[in-house]
Structure formats: structure tokens, C-alpha cells
Amino acid sequence: MKRLRQILRAVRAQMRAAWMTAMQYRLSFLGEGIVSLLWTGFTVVPLIVAYDYREGIEGWSFNECLIVVGVFIALQGILEGFIHPNLGSVVQLVRRGTLDYVLLKPLDAQLMVSVARSTPLKLPHIGVGLALAGVMAARLPDPPGPAQAGVALLLLLCATAILYSIYVFIVSTSFWFVRVDNLSFLLISVLDTGRFPVVFYTGAVRVFLTFILPVGMMTTYPALALRGLLSPRGALTALAVAAAFLLASRLVWRTAIRRYSSASS
């Protein structure tokens, strides 16, 4: 218990440092907010054009489709604000050998590299996404109640856990290959598939997005929950998958760290 309190205190201290840095540039929040709105527009326009020709596509109306877009944008913000700045820095730590300093500290190294550089700068982006999903869900003929909204948020947390784990897998490869910075951009563009309901994809691509890289689960499931169409079994599957991914990421990280032979010694 004491150990847990210690960890929480360390995490809080690191978060506070990151927030204070960001707060020095308060105007950037406004800029980020405007940019997020702009990009949301860029994401929605192709859908407006497509839905101009059809009332519904594969059982999703325009409004329902925008719920998925909202969830996607929120997840994108989580990735860019809370996952990428942290885990992305590991590649550099490995290359420069400065991971030594992290490993020397008494706290768990994975925990340290996972929270130290979070930036609240992407909160407006997450807010825009959640607002879009929320407004569109409220406009459904059968709007979701607090229970469904809670399940949707829980599923978004699961999605975050899965995304985090995949990023750990990618970063762990840097212990072997050293230069992998732009693999993360590849992940970002694979996540791009999540801006549409997974049923829009056919054949092998849908299989890939369902079973191998569960992007469909990450953005479509929360939207399905808000529509009241997700079975309890589906929600439990998502929880199990997220737990499995987290566990795997822990194992992969432990294996990778054993490979690390500091650059200085």
C-alpha cells in the first residue's frame, strides 16, 4: 500500500511538471482548439459528400457515423497527447543511451517512460472528439442513458489501453533496431482506419482490423454502446482483449529491457 502511494506521488509530480510547462504557453490551447476543429471538419467533409448520395451506409446513418468520428478524434488526441510524447521518447533514450538514468531510478522504468512527458495541450482535441460523439449520440432517436455512456467511456479506456500496448510493442523493437521513430507514424495512419465503422471495410482488411489490430473494437464499439447495440458479451470481450494486450505489453517490455546494453558502457 505504501509502495502504491509512493508510485502515485511520483506520477503526480511528473504530471504537474508537464502541466506547468504547458501552462506557460496558454495561448497554444486556443490554437490547438482551433486546429482540432479544422481537422474535425476535414474528417467530416468526405462523409458529408458520401452521405449526400445515400441515407445510410451498411446500417450506419450520417449521425451515427459521426459518433464514430468523434470517438476516433478523442482517441487520436489521447494518442498524440498522452501516449506518443511519452513512449515516442524511448527511441531517443535508447539511441543516446540516456535510458540508463531512467533505469537507475527506484521506480519502475516502464511506468516512468509512460507518464513523464504527457502534455495537456491535446486536451482540446480530446474535448472536440468527445463533444462531437456526445452531441451526435444525444440526437439519436433513442438517446443513450448514463449507463450506456458509462460503458462507452469504459470502452474508450480499453481502446486507450490497447493503443498504449501496441505502442509499447513498437517502441520495444527499438532495442533491436534502434531507429524506429517513423514506425509510430505508421501506427497513426493505421489508426486512421478507425474513423469509419469497421463494417465499411470488407474481406481481409476487416479481418485484420477486427482480430489482429483491433481498431474496429477501439472506435466502433464505443459508438455501438452509445447506440445501445453492443451486447454485454461484446463489452466483456473488449475488456478481456484490453487486459491481454496490457499483459503482453508488460512481457514484451521486460524482454526488451533485458536486451538493452547501455550505450555508454
Partner 1 sequence: MNTYAAAARAFPSLLKTGLAEMVSYRVELVIWALTATMPLLMMFIWDRVAATGPVGGYDQNAFAGYFAGTLIVRQLTTAWVVWDLNEQIRTGSISPALLKPLGPLWLSAAENLAAVPFRMLVLVPIITCICLWRPELALGLAWADVPAAAAALALGWMVYFFIQVCFGALCFYTEQSGGIYMGFYGLFTLFSGYLFPLDLMPAGILSVVQWLPFRAIIQTPVSIITGQLHGAAVLAPMAHQLAWAVICAALARWSWRHGIRRYEAYGA
The minimum distance between CB 21 and partner 1, in angstroms, equals 18
The minimum distance between CB 158 and partner 1, in angstroms, equals 23
The minimum distance between CB 70 and partner 1, in angstroms, equals 17
Q: Which three cell numbers stand for residue 68?
A: 464514430
Cα separation, 255 vs 124, in Å, equals: 36
Q: Which is nearer to partner 1, 183 or 243 (CB)?
A: 183
Residue with cell 473488449: 238
Q: Are 212 and 96 in contact (CB under 8 A)?
A: no
Q: Which is nearer to partner 1, 68 or 74 (CB)?
A: 68
Q: Which is nearer to partner 1, 116 or 132 (CB)?
A: 132
The minimum distance between CB 91 and partner 1, in angstroms, equals 13
Q: Which is nearer to partner 1, 13 or 45 (CB)?
A: 45
The minimum distance between CB 34 and partner 1, in angstroms, equals 10
Q: Where along the sequence are the contacts to partner 1 (CB under 8 A)? A: 31, 35, 38-39, 41-42, 45-47, 49-50, 52-54, 57-58, 179, 182-183, 185-186, 188-189, 192-193, 195-196, 200-203, 205
Q: Which is nearer to partner 1, 41 or 143 (CB)?
A: 41
> Would you state the torsion angle of the CA atoms of residues 136, 140, 143, 146, taken in this order, to the nearest 10 degrees?
-30
